[in-house]
Chain A
Amino acid sequence: EPEVTQTPSHQVTQMGQEVILRCVPISNHLYFYWYRQILGQKVEFLVSFYNNEISEKSEIFDDQFSVERPDGSNFTLKIRSTKLEDSAMYFCASSEALPGIPAYEQYFGPGTRLTVT
């Protein structure tokens, strides 16, 4: 069964450093998302991406964050200068889209645990 994959599974970085989290969405999916989950809390939407541009973003997704689809398979989240409060599990998700279907399930990857020290 197709699945979303993410690398690395765990990333430790120092405050102020840049990190890039990588995701490979399911191949025929057209919408891509990043979410984050601070330990013990709910899942929070960061950004959605379609047709090589951002569709929606939350207030969390400030200028320190960027997303990119550098090739036909990868989808990346970059945090330019990490802060302690960026420590969280980051999930990538993808969904397909067919004409006339108003809502789709999102398939989540296993996540990248980011620890900022």
Chain B
Amino acid sequence: QQPVQSPQAVILREGEDAVINCSSSKALYSVHWYRQKHGEAPVFLMILLKGGEQKGHEKISASFNEKKQQSSLYLTASQLSYSGTYFCGTAQEANFGNEKLTFGTGTRLTIIP
């Protein structure tokens, strides 16, 4: 069963913050976050593992709450380049490279000047 992402779409002004959530009905081992711009391939942002810490990447960070089976992606002081569709991909087991990812339906983020 695919993870559920919320919100489905969000429009922000440059400099505002956003939170994107990814929830699963099943226990998760890892959550992978990707950003996809229109007509392009998904680009890897970060992985969060069960038992791991919150991760950060410049102004983009994420957390993973194993008990709630939920991950959240935080975008702070958003830039125009952050526009795109964000997908979470989830894996239920530690597959050591052989990740069969189940992707969520995506969150379309639009940043306006």
Residue numbers of A with Cβ under 8 A of B are 30-31, 41-45, 48, 50, 55-56, 58, 91, 95-97, 101-111
Would you call the interface of chain B mostly helix, strand, loop, or mixed? Answer: loop
Asked whether B40 is an interface residue with its Cβ less than 8 Å from the other chain, the reply is: yes
Q: Given A45-B103, A91-B41, output 17 extra A-B contacts at Cβ < 8 Å.
A: A31-B98, A42-B2, A42-B103, A42-B104, A43-B87, A44-B103, A45-B102, A50-B97, A55-B98, A56-B98, A58-B100, A95-B99, A97-B96, A101-B97, A102-B29, A102-B94, A106-B32
Residue numbers of B with Cβ under 8 A of A are 2, 29-30, 32, 34, 36, 40-44, 47, 49, 87, 89, 91, 94-106
Separation of A95 and B101 alpha carbons in the complex (Å): 12
Given contacts A42-B106, A44-B103, A103-B49, whether A108 and B97 have CB atoms under 8 Å apart is no
Separation of A107 and B44 alpha carbons in the complex (Å): 7
Which residues of the partner chain A approach B104 to less than 8 Å between Cβ atoms?
42
Question: Is A105 a contact partner of B42 (Cβ separation < 8 A)?
Answer: no
